[in-house]
Amino acid sequence: MTTIRLYNTRTRTKETFTPLDPQNVRMYVCGPTVYDRAHLGNARPVVVFDVLYRLLRHEYGADHVTYVRNFTDVDDKINARAAQTGRPISEITAETTQWFLDDMGALGALEPDAMPRATQYIPQMIRMIEGLIASGHAYEAEGHVLFAVESYAEYGQLSGRTVDDMIAGARVEVAPYKRNPMDFVLWKPSTPDLPGWDSPWGRGRPGWHIECSAMSYELLGESFDIHGGGNDLMFPHHENEIAQSCCAHPEGKFARYWLHNEMLQVEGKKMSKSLGNFFTVRDLLDQGVPGEVIRFVFLSTHYRKPMDWTAEKAREAEKTLRKWYAQAVQGVGTGDPYDSVKTALSDDLNTAGAIAECHQLSHADDITTLRHTLQFLGLMGDDVPEWARLPEGTGLGELADKLHTVRLQAMQSKDFSQADSLKAALADAGVEVRMSKDGVELVPGPDFDPSKLETLK
């Protein structure tokens, strides 16, 4: 078995991953708030932790890994969208949940083993809050229930901040009923026009942080292996999860390994609607950018480094994938991913290193291993995707033979004008020409135009 090493945000070191139970490896990742389409930044953690999920399944067996990713379907943003559109909340969340699954599926992401919705776990949240009040870690005030941050001595260890630093640097809600400015809401009252559930503290709805603690406990237990998400969630969301979970279930350790991906930029700038560089995943898919290309660009940068999405990177990714697919489609039979790719991923999910190894593999003769490696990385299904298929009758094979013959003649006559003219015409048609002692290979690029080949046949 390959040794997997992961950078643990909590300890700030790269550690050897040792699951609590190799027969039941457990991972929880914070999912989306479902009120709109997922933007490009939302997709990065999905792809990052999909790669980790695939690696864990490969090493421990698919039946021995449980991956949970939640849907937040009770939230003020959802309430605002319902008020704005006049549509029922349940209709909005059902629609946007399916949008999310469809868009992430287009990026090659496997669906987690469990995808709980917050509204399905309200009773469990209420029980956890009751326990926190009983143990002195939470208190009721003016219809709210708040977690008492000072009751948990290790608060701030994940983000590495002191409570004073957090107060100074955070947008803390100032409320007269808070004992400490950093105390956070576990339960809040609902007006008649807002979603609400009956509770010991009146009709209301849960705060954001409690949902992940309740759902992870119900589905994974008081201790599990990995908790992941974007680094924008480290504080306050993950910090608060740790506090309330460890206080509610002191017999456990909650999550042992914490992984956080860095943020995404577009063309070197922070993604922003005001800058005109804001894209949803669906925007790119509808513009004709294949999901595999989006995934490739994501994998080309290590998850702990900021990622810059550019149109040029997308073009290069499509060109590379077309080349690899042309090779991999010829691979037959069963096989395993390339060992060097598995080694790269086992070193803190070094996907950029894995992509570099795929480049090396593409120059080798083992096309079956290339095929299984691309499938392992989620870059290829059982066959070449439709967008990368060559139209029937392109005649590239015949043209490759023709160029090979012309080239051999030129080597004899020392007149390369005809060969150069043919190569230039192929390049103008969007075809990459590769020559070696074994012959000529023609690979269509992203700008391939078969109509320009008609005069060359």
Cα 65 to Cα 89, 216, 341, 433, distances in angstroms: 33, 15, 21, 44
Q: pLDDT band for position 67 (50/70/90)?
A: very high
Let me know if domain 5-264 sits in CATH 3.40.50.620. Answer: yes
Report pLDDT for 403.
87
Residue 12: both structure tokens together: 């700030």
Report pLDDT for 449.
80
Task: Compute φ and ψ for 258, nearest 5 degrees.
Answer: -110, 125
> Strand pairing partners for 66?
26
The DSSP call for residue 411 is H
Among residues 114, 184, 194, the alpha carbon closest in space to that of 151 is found at 184
Per-residue pLDDT for 437 more than 70?
Answer: no
Report pLDDT for 163.
66
| Alpha carbon 13 to its chain's center | 22
Burial class (CB in 10 A: 0-12, 13-18, 19+), 303: buried
Report pLDDT for 108.
97
Burial class (CB in 10 A: 0-12, 13-18, 19+), 357: buried
Q: According to CATH, where is 1.20.120 located in the chain? A: 288-388
SS3 137: coil
Distance CA 348, CA 304 (A): 9
Distance CA 7, CA 407 (A): 52
> Strand pairing partners for 254?
223
Report pLDDT for 392.
62
Torsion of CA 93, 95, 96, 102, to 10 degrees: 140
Per-residue pLDDT for 171 more than 60?
Answer: no
Per-residue pLDDT for 330 more than 80?
Answer: no
Degrees, nearest 5: CA angle 162-165-170? 120
Q: Are 285 and 40 in contact (CB under 8 A)?
A: no
**223-254 tens-digit pLDDT:** 999 999 999 999 999 999 999 999 999 999 99
Q: pLDDT band for position 210 (50/70/90)?
A: very high
Average pLDDT of span 413-418: 91
**337-351 tens-digit pLDDT:** 899 999 999 999 999
List of residues 6+ apart from 287 with CB closer than 8 A: none
On average, the pLDDT of the chain sits at: 92
Average pLDDT of span 376-390: 87
> Residue length, the chain?
457
List of residues 6+ apart from 273 with CB closer than 8 A: none
**359-372 tens-digit pLDDT:** 999 888 788 899 99
Backbone CA torsion sign across 347, 348, 354, 356 = negative
Poorest-pLDDT segment among 9-13, 83-87, 124-128, 163-167: 163-167
Report pLDDT for 446.
66
Poorest-pLDDT segment among 169-173, 201-205, 232-236: 169-173
Residue 333: both structure tokens together: 């039979």
Per-residue pLDDT for 430 more than 80?
Answer: yes
With a pLDDT cut of 90, the percent of the chain lying above it is 73
**272-287 tens-digit pLDDT:** 888 888 999 999 999 9
Torsion of CA 301, 303, 309, 311, to 10 degrees: 40
Average pLDDT of span 173-199: 91
Report pLDDT for 436.
72
Residue 409: both structure tokens together: 């003649």
Report pLDDT for 104.
98
Q: pLDDT band for position 170 (50/70/90)?
A: low
Q: pLDDT band for position 438 (50/70/90)?
A: low
Report pLDDT for 166.
65
Give 218-240 as a 3 state SS string. HHHCCEEEEEEEEHHHHHHHHHH
Q: Are 32 and 38 in contact (CB under 8 A)?
A: yes
Structural class in CATH, domain 288-388: mainly alpha
Report pLDDT for 291.
97
Q: According to CATH, where is 3.40.50.620 located in the chain? A: 5-264
| Prediction pTM value | 0.87
SS3 432: strand
Report pLDDT for 327.
84
Per-residue pLDDT for 147 more than 60?
Answer: yes
Among residues 215, 157, 135, 147, the alpha carbon closest in space to that of 187 is found at 147
Q: pLDDT band for position 455 (50/70/90)?
A: confident
Neighbours of 275 (CB within 10 A): 11
